[in-house]
Amino acid sequence: MSFALPTAFLLAAIALPIVGLYILKVRLRRVPVSTNLFWHQIFDEKPPRSIWQNLRHIVSLLMQLALLALLVLALADPYFAWQAKYARHVVLVIDNSASMQATDVSPIRFDAAIEKAQQLVTGLRDQDQVAIVVAGKSPEVVVGLTGHIPTLRRALDGIHVSDAATHLDRAIELGQQLVAPYERGEVIVLTDGCHGRVDPAEKPAEAPTEKSEEPTEEKDEKASNVVWEIFGTAANNVGITQFQTRRSLVDPIGYEILAAVHNASSEPIKARLEITLDDVPVDILPLKLAPGERWRRSLEKTSIEGGPLEARLTKIRRNVEDEATDAEQDASDDDLNFLTVDDVAYAILPQQKRQSVLLVTPGYFFLEKVFEANPMVDLTVLKEFPETWPANTVIVLHRNTPEKLPAGSVWVIDPENDTDLWTVQGMLENPIVTKQADDSPLMTHIALDNVLLPKASKLNWKASIIPLAEAVSGDAIYAEIDRPQGKVLVLGVNLESSDLAFRTAFPIMATNALSWFAGPSGELHPSISTDEMTKIELSEEIVSGHPSLTLISPTDEKVSQPVIPGTKSQEGATTSSPSTNIGPLETVGMWQLLPEQMEEEGSPESTDVEPIRAFAVNLASERETDLRPPSQLLDSSTAPLLTSSWWSRPPWFLLVCLACVLTAWEWFAYQRRVIT
């Protein structure tokens, strides 16, 4: 036998004052009496005693010393060598992913797993130790190896289910590392088994050709200490596995929606996919899906306004054929969708900003109509140069150009005059476009090789250019100039003599040019999954006024978001902008990134200020949508058992119980005059 606290034996010295007080001779109290009769009566009740006469009733002293011995032994915490040898070290890996919200197990899978974990913790023996690892958005050790049951219970009560996908394999590896130094180490996995399925979105482009070199024996040894407890059935479910949107590259008010739905069930279903933009209905798509079918579609819509897009699955019913039996037609539809977190998905449609365009032209009807047809353009047409050039305006110069181009964004079409950036050296007759920059956003969906171009200006460039379209002679008939004063585009084609203005290529060219002048901001805000991280670049203006930011969840929970400062080179040039890293976000819905000062002020004006950025977060995981555990995992599942009997309690607990029994017996014996 060994003792965890041998210094507790010093408390045995308390036996000395106990014995001393027991044999101490008590001086009798002086009592005056009136007669000898009363004196003899008192003397007979309390005769004078010597020190050694007290030892005649030694049973009471021995019981007090025995009680002290029991308490001292309990404080010393004795344990046997076989207890330490057979002590168990267990890691509970708890899956709190989105699929654990399924209701096929009452009340939900996650609650059943937590209840089982509480039972396992209650069954701990003396010297047993348990650690708790959560396998949510990232493996996390909630509490390390400990045998303190109240601490383990509080840790289990503090775990909550999330909307994120599981990372169970990494959590199991972490648990195996925790118990690796111990001989009787064990990892108990409480999950629904959905981790074993491969998500098609996570498949690599090319399968690896080399086989793993890890020996099979080592793999079997690692898996031998893993015990599975599955909470789930072959439940049916239907969910949205992808939902994205982006602005059209051709239509200035158009946008595209990409949606995907997976019927992860053994029943044919029919449902409706309802899409709304800022709570305004956009489309309602009827769906009929066979068992296991994956539906995917790209939709084209138009809207000047932007805002949050929401897709929701409704009216999920069993798709019963007309010739089905009465029992099949009357079957309940409650068993078709056991998970609701993937029934809704979100996306953000960027707001289109209107552009001011100043067209200076002697008059060309088709050129004016190209800009007038764009609903996002505020067009002003002049025949002569203005006295002052407007700011924040795209200036389009047709034919006539000033000697010095104005600052800002300028698009020159069919120039006839020399400027500070080029000189006109004549005309190119019937130029044929043989080379164009297809990788440039200015040439998206444009092909000039089949466009009739009778005339084009031959320009001698004074500045560095990026050719966008070149003739056989090597002359650039469409070029980009990036100058410090602003961007410049030059199109040397004569519109009156060519059919470019009548082709769809010219409106597309104008749309691309306006988008290029406006810049890439706000064009694409992709939805992110609960597993993803995204980096947001911040302006110096935001960082200087707000050293930290606040991230607000769909449930209005606030999380402080640190800002990563930008870096500069030794010459002072900016090498990286200030930024902040967002994610992984474990709740599905719309998140907002706000300046922290705005939240602290709490003024009514602060609520009207737009957030720095909004995020649409979706589950977007076929692995979580499919609730059916793999059959091989169900077959290998074994119910873990950590049992403890009364005699498996620690010795100190038994000693304390024995001391309580001894105290009760002594009180009973004293009351019955068995001892004095």
Q: Could you tell me the CATH number of the domain that includes residue 387?
A: 3.40.50.880
The angle that helices 505-518 and 365-372 make with each other, rounded to 10 degrees, is 60
Q: What is the mean pLDDT of residues 25-51?
A: 65
- How far is 486 from 248, CA to CA, in rounded Å? 25
Percent of the residues in the chain that have a pLDDT greater than 90, as a whole number? 34
48 and 122 together in one domain = no
pLDDT of residue 114: 95
Q: Of the given ranges (22-31, 129-138, 425-434), which has the lowest mean pLDDT?
A: 22-31
Whether 141 and 99 have beta carbons less than 8 Å apart is answered as no
Do the domain assignments include residue 212?
no
Do the domain assignments include residue 309?
yes
pLDDT of residue 1: 67
- Supply 574's token pair: 């900016």
Q: What does DSSP say about strands 355-360 and 377-382: parallel, antiparallel, or unpaired?
A: parallel
Q: What is the mean pLDDT of residues 57-80?
A: 80
First to last CA, the chain: 36
pLDDT of residue 83: 57
464 and 394 together in one domain = yes
Q: What is the mean pLDDT of residues 211-221?
A: 46
592 and 635 together in one domain = no
Q: What is the mean pLDDT of residues 568-593?
A: 79
Do the domain assignments include residue 475?
yes
Boundary of a domain, candidates 453, 485, 518? 518
Q: What is the mean pLDDT of residues 46-55?
A: 58
Residue 96 CA, distance from chain mean position: 12
When pLDDT is cut at 50, 70 and 90, the band that residue 216 belongs to is: very low
607 and 638 together in one domain = no
Residues 6+ apart with CB under 8 A from 344: 240, 310, 311, 312, 313, 588
Do the domain assignments include residue 26?
yes
Do the domain assignments include residue 564?
yes
Q: Could you tell me the CATH number of the domain that includes residue 150?
A: 3.40.50.410
483 and 392 together in one domain = yes
433 and 472 together in one domain = yes
When pLDDT is cut at 50, 70 and 90, the band that residue 214 belongs to is: very low
For residue 280, the surrounding DSSP H or E stretch is strand 280-289
Q: What is the mean pLDDT of residues 434-452?
A: 87
Summarised one tens digit per residue, pLDDT across range 535-547 is: 888 877 777 777 7
- Residue type at 202? E
pLDDT of residue 346: 96
Do the domain assignments include residue 657?
no
Q: What is the mean pLDDT of residues 343-363?
A: 90
When pLDDT is cut at 50, 70 and 90, the band that residue 570 belongs to is: low
When pLDDT is cut at 50, 70 and 90, the band that residue 521 belongs to is: very low
Q: Of the given ranges (281-290, 329-338, 443-452), which has the lowest mean pLDDT?
A: 329-338
CB atoms within 10 A of CB 465: 17
Do the domain assignments include residue 230?
yes
186 and 252 together in one domain = no
pTM of the model: 0.70
Whether 113 and 191 have beta carbons less than 8 Å apart is answered as yes
- How far is 253 from 581, CA to CA, in rounded Å? 31
Whether 108 and 122 have beta carbons less than 8 Å apart is answered as no
456 and 507 together in one domain = yes
Q: What does DSSP say about strands 410-413 and 486-491: parallel, antiparallel, or unpaired?
A: parallel
- How far is 159 from 111, CA to CA, in rounded Å? 10
Do the domain assignments include residue 672?
no
pLDDT of residue 162: 92
373 and 256 together in one domain = no
Whether 176 and 187 have beta carbons less than 8 Å apart is answered as yes
396 and 499 together in one domain = yes
Q: What is the mean pLDDT of residues 116-140?
A: 87
Give the residue from 89, 87, 96 showing the smallest Cα distance to 178. Answer: 89
258 and 317 together in one domain = yes
Residue 443's alpha-carbon distances to 279, 395, 450, 461, 638, in angstroms, are 36, 20, 14, 21, 62
Q: What is the mean pLDDT of residues 199-208?
A: 49
Residues 6+ apart with CB under 8 A from 475: 428, 431, 456, 458, 459
Summarised one tens digit per residue, pLDDT across range 82-100 is: 555 667 889 999 999 999 9
Whether 496 and 465 have beta carbons less than 8 Å apart is answered as no
Give per-residue burial for 521-552: e unless 16+ CB within 10 Å, then b. Answer: eeeebebbbbbbeeebebeeeebeebeebbbb
Is pLDDT larger for residue 668 or for residue 57? 668
Boundary of a domain, candidates 577, 597, 619? 619
When pLDDT is cut at 50, 70 and 90, the band that residue 445 belongs to is: confident
pLDDT of residue 174: 93
- Residue 224 in this model has a pLDDT that exceeds 80: no
Summarised one tens digit per residue, pLDDT across range 228-242 is: 999 988 899 999 999
549 and 591 together in one domain = yes
pLDDT of residue 241: 95
Give the residue from 664, 577, 653, 650 showing the smallest Cα distance to 125. Answer: 650
Count of structural domains, the chain: 5
- How far is 671 from 65, CA to CA, in rounded Å? 20
Which domain does 65 fall in, by range?
2-77
Q: What is the mean pLDDT of residues 350-376?
A: 88
Beta bridge partners of 349: 307
Using the structure block, give the residue that is written with the tokens 């949508």: 625
- Supply 460's token pair: 């001698």
- How far is 445 from 455, CA to CA, in rounded Å? 23
Percent of the residues in the chain that have a pLDDT greater than 70, as a whole number? 80
CA torsion angle 387 389 391 395 (round to 10)? 150
pLDDT of residue 213: 47
When the pLDDT of each residue in the chain is averaged and rounded to a whole number, the result is 82
Summarised one tens digit per residue, pLDDT across range 604-657 is: 444 455 688 889 999 999 999 999 988 777 666 566 655 555 555 677 777 888
Q: Of the given ranges (111-125, 298-312, 634-648), which has the lowest mean pLDDT?
A: 634-648
Residue 40 CA, distance from chain mean position: 92
**Greatest mean pLDDT range, 104-108, 273-277, 437-441, 530-534:** 273-277
- How far is 64 from 19, CA to CA, in rounded Å? 9
Q: What are phi and psi of 627, to 5 degrees?
A: -90, 0
Rg for the chain (alpha carbons), in Å? 41
Beta bridge partners of 273: 285, 313
Give 106-135 as a 3 state SS string: CCCHHHHHHHHHHHHHHCCCCCCEEEEEEE
Is pLDDT larger for residue 104 or for residue 548? 104
pLDDT of residue 414: 92
When pLDDT is cut at 50, 70 and 90, the band that residue 62 belongs to is: confident
Residues 6+ apart with CB under 8 A from 587: 162, 163, 530, 553, 554, 555, 617
Boundary of a domain, candidates 518, 537, 563? 518
Q: What is the mean pLDDT of residues 167-192?
A: 90
Residue 13 CA, distance from chain mean position: 60
Q: What is the mean pLDDT of residues 375-384?
A: 90
CB atoms within 10 A of CB 331: 15
Q: What is the mean pLDDT of residues 159-179?
A: 91
Q: Could you tell me the CATH number of the domain that includes residue 541?
A: 2.60.40
- Supply 617's token pair: 């977060």
pLDDT of residue 207: 43
